[in-house]
Amino acid sequence: MHTYDWITPAQAATRLGTAVRDLYRLVDRGQLPAYRISGEIRLLAHEVDDYARGTPPGRGSAGPTTQRDR
């Protein structure tokens, strides 16, 4: 069983060195996956790190099997 580190949009923006509004633009464009969990938007830390390294979403570490809600 995998353990996933979920982070908030603010934490993801900090990791990427960008503003939260710019992070949401990346999500809206489909460049960065985000997930709705109990009504809150969350991102997977490893997917944010993959994006920062230039690895396209879904090509880096194995992600969750949950449905993306964006």
Indicate whether 67 belongs to any domain: no
Compute the distance between CA of residue 49 and CA of residue 30 in angstroms, rounded to an integer: 16
Stretch 24-31: mean pLDDT: 96
Mean pLDDT to the nearest integer, 21-41: 96
Decide if 68 is inside a domain.
no
pLDDT recorded at residue 55: 82
* Three-class SS state of 2: coil
Identify whether 43 is part of a domain.
yes
**70 pLDDT higher than 50:** no
User: Does the residue 66 lie in any domain?
Assistant: no
Tell me what pLDDT residue 67 has.
45
Q: How many domains are contained in the chain?
A: 1
Structural domain contains residue 69: no
| Strand duo 40-44 + 35-37: pairing | antiparallel
Average pLDDT, the chain: 84
Domain that holds residue 18: 8-53
Does the pLDDT value for residue 68 go beyond 60? no
Residue 35 within a domain: yes
Q: Is residue 59 part of a domain?
A: no
pTM: 0.76
